[in-house]
Amino acid sequence: MENDKKYALVTGASRGIGKACAIELAKAGYNIIITYAGNTEAANQTIAELKALNVEAEAYKFDVSNSQEVEQNISQIIEKYGRIDVLVNNAGITRDDLFIRMTDDKWLDVINTNLNSAFYVTKPVVKLMMKQRFGSIVNTTSVVGVYGNIGQANYSSAKAGLIGFTKSLAKELGARNIRVNAVAPGFIATDMTKDLKNADEYLKLISLRRMGEASDVASAVKFLAVDASYVTGQVLEVDGGLVI
């Protein structure tokens, strides 16, 4: 029955944490819509892996920091599928630099891609979820959004903004049966961290003495998105005990 189908939309899911979330949600029986910026080869590979799990899967390529592109693509998705049960706002970038050297471009790129994107994507999706009287949203923030980090004033500001966004939406939308939570990963082995300098120094700070895998974050996202039926407005740190 068409109406019984569940759909999850995961932004930035061609690779890394988003891809792992898409796979975890597919294993939980969700049909998956992924978005990505430009890496079509990776997106196609993800779609093939999702379809091998016997779910519907489709990829949309657009820039989450561009409000017009988001509006066009999300309305196409909503028109085609008619329902979105789970939204994972995951797409993100880093443009690190010491604050004193940080250019306007680096600041704005990160704020637009990591924070404003969530506003653009979530607005039309929430309208649909309100009609459904059901929905679950997980925003991918970061431990540095809670604790700050040298060289990441732009990134940590965007990620802190996402935490405020999460808590405010949880309060506004709870009465509509829409839960909104955030996951705050620590150091996770993806393309984003592959050139990390002083990785050994970071490892000493992590209680579990290893970097996280994308799948470690994905299982927490699936918990918040699907299983945690009485949890909203929370930030779950998935950092191997980096900060305790």
Catalytic positions? 155
**Cα(145)–Cα(152) distance, integer angstroms:** 9
Q: Which of 8, 9, 10, 16 forms a contact with ligand NAP (CB under 6 A)?
A: 16
Q: Is 205 in the site for ligand NAP (CB under 6 A)?
A: no
Closest contact distance (angstroms) between CB of 17 and ligand NAP is 4
Q: Which of 140, 154, 156, 166 binds ligand NAP (CB under 6 A)?
A: 140
Q: Which of 93, 118, 169, 182 binds ligand NAP (CB under 6 A)?
A: 93
Which stretch, 11-19, 97-105, 130-138, 226-234, contacts ligand NAP (CB under 6 A)? 11-19
Q: What is the 3-state secondary structure (H, E, C) of the chain?
A: CHHHCCEEEECCCCCHHHHHHHHHHHHCCCEEEEEECCCHHHHHHHHHHHHCCCCCEEEEECCCCCHHHHHHHHHHHHHHHCCCCEEEECCCCCCCECHHHCCHHHHHHHHHHHHHHHHHHHHHHHHHHHHHCCEEEEEECCHHHHHCCCCEHHHHHHHHHHHHHHHHHHHHHHHHCEEEEEEEECCECCHHHCCCCCHHHHHHHCCCCCCECHHHHHHHHHHHHHHCCCCCCCEEEECCCCCC
Contact 29, 227 (CB under 8 A): no
Question: At closest approach, how far in Å is the CB of 67 from ligand NAP?
Answer: 12
User: Residue 156 interacts with ligand NAP (CB under 6 A)?
Assistant: no
| Shortest Å distance, C-beta 235 to ligand NAP | 12
Q: Considering beta carbons, is residue 37 or 130 the nearer one to ligand NAP? A: 37
Q: Which of 27, 29, 38, 177 binds ligand NAP (CB under 6 A)?
A: 38
Structural contact between residues 48 and 42, judged by C-beta atoms closer than 8 angstroms? no
Question: Among residues 25, 31, 32, 65, which is the contact residue for ligand NAP, using CB under 6 A?
Answer: 65
Specify the stretch interacting with ligand NAP by CB under 6 A; choose among 74-82, 89-97, 127-135, 228-236: 89-97
Decide if residue 14 touches ligand NAP (CB under 6 A): yes
Nearest residue (CB) to ligand NAP, 49 versus 82: 49
Among 7, 8, 86, 113, binds ligand NAP (CB under 6 A): 113
Instruction: Using the minimum distance from each CB to ligand NAP, give the nearer residue, 5 or 167.
Output: 167
The residues that touch ligand NAP, with contacts defined as CB under 6 A, are 12-18, 35-39, 42, 63-65, 90-93, 113-114, 140, 142, 185, 187-188, 190-193
